Every structure is written in structure tokens, then in C-alpha cells.
């Protein structure tokens, strides 16, 4: 060290820097302890018995700081796995649904199938389906720039609507579309052809006859749909009314179009184009029938959107007459299903429990514990939250749940695998 007075100044600066470094180190250790208290205490609590009095004093200061932050340590080490699971579900179902809206904000296309199914089951089990749709639909409207884009995005919000409709509308689809589809399939193979695109037709095909076949098929389907108003499940009618009420506040002329976007685009059209995939009929073996159903779906979709065929598919233009003739019937159907449901909203959503279906991965989708939520659904949501915790933390503010989630690290991220964590151990 330098000699004389400069040496004393150097020693004072060195001491000052050492004190600053010690203070920063204690602050860092305190924050780490507070962030993972239960784990941290396992390794630091023994310091209170250390022979070095200074170390004991520093730990006491750190522990006092943690306590002053208002962290509850009463239940550390004694909470059951169900307790942690319940805390996450309570945060997910918080009245403001901040966490759900955060998940909706960041969810990518590759995650919407698994998350959409899991969230529907969780909110149903907690009797919060109504408030979930009220918030999700309102947010979707806020993000839509034009009426033409309503419920057209492939996102978590629209997937929640699709999954719920499919889940609770299965019997309706079979009773409504089943007779029309069975009548179509009852025709001898090769007697009905539907192709209208001249680039795909043989010269010997009678295009006018095919046009008549398409119109007859569409009539069967539209007649069945417009006559099924009172068969539509009350929960789906309530959602239609909710969509109408929310949409007209921003787009006054788009209420029925938005209802059509849900009930046709997200519910009916997928069942029309692939009825066998929805259990409405047996496997469809002929390409001609598939083509007829596809064309019928295109026409039904345009009717719901109140638009005509144009330059994009000129071979469909002759069917604009059919759309125009049935426009009033379609609008009347949308108007009726958008009317308020007679029962109050809470009673509408008090549906009986659904039967459990075994999952393809061997996990019983209906196996539930005291929370009413299956292990499969809970782990799907837990895994997503953990993987995106940094992006979701703003939606959780500074709630203690952030720390709780940080302690429940799923070890196995493979599809269908249960996370080996305190929150999911009870499900094993």
C-alpha cells in the first residue's frame, strides 16, 4: 500500500467498498431467500446456530427483512399438495381473471388445443364458465379492428368457444344434422355427384344436375338448422346472446354476423364438412360425398356471413340465388338464438357432470381430487404457466403465487406427462 497519508485514505476507501459489497450481498441473499422461502430456509436456517456471532446477526437481519415484507410462513412445510393446487386454481379463477387474460395474451397457436380443452374443464369444475366467457369475448372484441374479423382469428379465445360448443352441443349436432347426413349416405354410390369446378369435371358430367344436387343437399342441411332453434342447448344460446350484446356496443350492425361467426364457423360448419369425425355418421368412404359436404359448408358459411360468391370462386356464383332465397330464414335463425335465455345465467350453466373419458396417454381425464379438477387438465395449465412465468408475472402483480409457482417446477414436459411437483403429486 502507498506510504504516508495516502495509505490511510486507501485503507478507508477499501473498507468503504467492502462495506458496500457486504451490504449488496446481504440484500441479494435476502431477495433470494424471499423468492424461494421454503427451499431457502432448508439451507440457511442452520446459520442461526453458527459459532460466528456476526454471521448469526446477519442472518437475523435478513430473516427480519423477509418477515417485514409480509410473507406468511405459518404454513411452510405443512401444506398438502392439494393446498398448492388450490392456490393456483384460485389465482386462475380470481374475479378479475387477470391470469387467464394473460394466458390468452401470450398463448401461441401450438398451445391452444391443449390449453383450450383444459381451461374449459377447469372453469366448469369451478362454476366460473359464465364469467370466463364474459371477459374473454369482451377482450376479443377490443382486439378486433373491424367487424369482418370478429371471431375469425385462430387464438385461445375462439378455441375456448369452439371447445365449449363441441362439448355441450354434441347431442344437438347428432339430432339436427344426423337425419340429413344419413339421407345423403343412403343414396347408392355413384348416383349423386356434386362437382361444380370445371377444372375438376369430366366433359361427360352434367353440371346442371350437379348444381341441383348441391342445392338439394344444402336445403336438407339448412332446413334442419333453422328448425332447431329450441333444440340448441341453453348454454350455447346464452353465449350467442352474450356475443350479440357485446358486439353491438362497438359494431351496431354486426351483431348477427358475429353470432353466425360463432354458431356456424366454430360449431356447425366443422360438423357439416366432417360429420364422421363428430360421431354423426359412420366413416364416409366416397370422395364425391366429401366434395358435396365441402360445397355445402362453403354455402352455409357464406349464408351466415351474409355474403355472396364472387371472382374468387366463379363456379359457385350460380348458388348466390340459393343464398339470397334463404337469407331471411338464416337471419331469423340467428335472431332467435341471440334472444335472451329465459333462465338466469347461473342456472343455465349448472349442467350435470359429464362422464369421464380415458385419455390417449393413459391418464384418466375424469380422475379428480378435492379441487374438482383432473390431474391432466391441471398439469397442462401448470406447465404452460411455469414455461411462461416471466411473461405472466405482470398479470400476477407481486402476489405470493409467483413464488409458489416458482417452487413447482414440472420435471417432465412431454405431452400428457404429469409434472412431478408438490402441486401435482397428489394426482399420481
pLDDT in tens, 355-402: 334 443 444 445 556 678 888 999 899 899 888 888 887 776 544 444
Altogether, the residues listed in the chain come to a count of 428
Question: Cα–Cα distances in Å, from 217 out to 132, 287, 291?
Answer: 37, 15, 11
Secondary structure class of 358 (helix, strand, coil): strand
Contact between 410 and 420 under an 8 Å Cβ cutoff? The reply is: yes
pLDDT at position 417 = 36
> Binning pLDDT at 50, 70 and 90, where does residue 267 land?
very high
Q: Is the pLDDT of residue 18 over 50?
A: yes
pLDDT at position 372 = 80
356 φ/ψ angles, rounded to the nearest 5 degrees: -75, 145
Q: Where are the strands (E) in 335-398, listed by range?
A: none
Identify the residue with better confidence: 62 or 120: 120
410 φ/ψ angles, rounded to the nearest 5 degrees: -65, 130
CA dist., res. 60 & res. 48, Å (int): 7
Q: Is the pLDDT of residue 80 over 80?
A: no
pLDDT at position 89 = 86
CA dist., res. 96 & res. 412, Å (int): 31
Q: Is the pLDDT of residue 183 over 80?
A: yes
pTM greater than the 0.75 cutoff? no
Q: Is the pLDDT of residue 69 over 80?
A: no
Contact between 338 and 235 under an 8 Å Cβ cutoff? The reply is: no
Work out the number of other CB atoms within 10 angstroms of the CB of residue 14.
11
Side-chain-side CA neighbours of 292 within 13 Å: the count stands at 30
Average pLDDT of the residues of the chain: 81
E strand or H helix that includes residue 90: helix 81-92
pLDDT at position 2 = 52
Contact between 420 and 130 under an 8 Å Cβ cutoff? The reply is: no
CA dist., res. 144 & res. 261, Å (int): 14
Quick one: which of 316, 303, 280, 426 has its CA closest to 367?
426
Question: Cα–Cα distances in Å, from 128 out to 69, 135, 151, 349?
Answer: 32, 11, 21, 9
CA 405 to chain centre: 20
Contact between 365 and 411 under an 8 Å Cβ cutoff? The reply is: no
Query: Which range has the worst mean pLDDT, 17-31, 112-126, 156-170, 227-241?
Result: 17-31
The conformation of residue 97, written as its DSSP 8-state character, comes to -
Contact between 386 and 393 under an 8 Å Cβ cutoff? The reply is: no
Ranges of H-type helices in 345-388 = 345-348, 375-387
CA dist., res. 187 & res. 184, Å (int): 6
pLDDT at position 153 = 82
Q: Which residue has the cell 359412420?
A: 282
Per-residue model confidence as pLDDT tens digits over 218-234: 999 999 999 999 999 99
Amino acid at each position: 500500500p502507498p506510504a504516508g497519508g495516502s495509505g490511510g485514505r486507501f485503507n478507508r476507501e477499501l473498507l468503504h467498498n467492502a462495506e458496500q459489497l457486504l451490504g449488496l450481498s446481504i440484500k441479494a441473499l435476502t431477495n433470494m431467500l424471499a423468492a424461494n422461502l421454503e427451499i431457502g430456509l432448508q439451507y440457511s436456517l442452520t446459520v442461526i446456530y453458527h459459532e460466528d456471532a456476526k454471521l448469526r446477526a446477519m442472518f437475523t437481519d435478513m430473516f427480519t427483512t423477509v418477515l417485514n415484507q409480509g410473507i406468511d410462513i405459518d404454513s411452510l412445510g405443512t401444506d398438502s399438495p392439494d393446498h398448492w393446487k388450490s392456490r393456483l386454481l384460485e389465482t386462475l379463477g380470481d374475479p378479475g381473471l387477470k391470469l387467464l387474460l394473460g394466458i390468452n395474451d401470450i398463448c401461441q397457436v401450438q398451445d391452444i388445443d391443449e390449453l383450450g380443452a383444459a381451461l374449459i374443464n377447469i372453469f366448469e369444475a369451478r362454476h366460473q364458465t359464465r364469467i370466463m366467457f364474459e371477459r374473454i369475448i369482451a377482450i376479443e372484441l377490443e382486439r378486433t379492428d373491424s367487424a369482418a374479423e370478429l371471431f375469425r382469428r385462430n387464438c385461445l379465445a375462439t378455441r375456448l368457444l369452439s371447445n365449449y360448443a363441441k362439448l355441450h352441443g354434441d347431442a344437438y349436432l347428432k339430432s339436427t344434422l344426423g337425419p340429413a347426413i344419413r339421407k345423403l349416405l343412403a343414396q347408392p354410390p355413384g348416383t349423386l355427384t356434386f362437382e361444380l369446378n370445371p377444372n375438376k369435371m369430366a366433359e361427360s358430367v352434367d353440371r346442371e344436375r350437379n348444381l341441383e344436387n348441391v342445392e338439394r343437399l344444402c336445403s336438407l342441411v339448412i332446413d334442419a338448422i333453422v328448425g332447431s332453434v329450441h333444440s340448441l342447448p341453453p348454454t350455447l344460446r346464452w353465449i350467442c346472446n352474450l356475443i350479440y350484446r357485446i358486439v353491438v356496443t362497438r359494431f351496431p350492425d354486426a351483431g348477427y354476423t358475429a353470432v353466425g361467426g360463432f354458431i356456424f364457423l366454430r360449431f356447425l360448419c366443422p360438423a357439416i364438412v366432417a360429420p364422421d369425425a363428430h360421431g354423426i355418421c359412420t366413416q364416409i368412404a366416397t370422395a364425391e360425398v366429401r366434395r358435396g359436404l365441402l360445397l355445402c359448408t362453403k354455402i352455409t358459411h357464406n349464408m351466415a356471413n351474409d355474403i355472396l360468391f364472387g371472382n374468387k370462386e366463379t363456379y359457385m356464383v350460380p348458388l348466390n340465388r340459393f343464398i339470397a332465397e334463404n337469407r331471411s330464414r338464416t337471419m331469423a335463425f340467428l335472431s332467435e338464438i341471440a334472444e335472451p335465455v329465459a333462465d338466469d345465467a347461473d342456472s343455465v350453466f349448472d349442467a350435470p357432470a359429464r362422464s369421464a373419458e380415458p385419455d390417449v396417454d393413459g391418464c384418466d381425464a375424469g380422475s379428480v381430487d378435492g379441487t374438482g379438477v383432473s390431474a391432466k387438465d391441471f398439469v397442462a395449465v401448470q406447465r404452460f404457466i411455469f414455461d411462461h412465468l416471466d411473461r405472466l408475472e405482470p398479470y400476477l402483480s407481486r402476489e405470493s403465487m409467483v413464488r409458489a409457482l416458482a417452487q413447482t417446477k414440472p420435471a417432465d414436459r412431454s405431452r400428457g406427462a404429469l409434472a412431478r411437483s408438490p402441486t401435482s403429486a397428489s394426482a399420481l
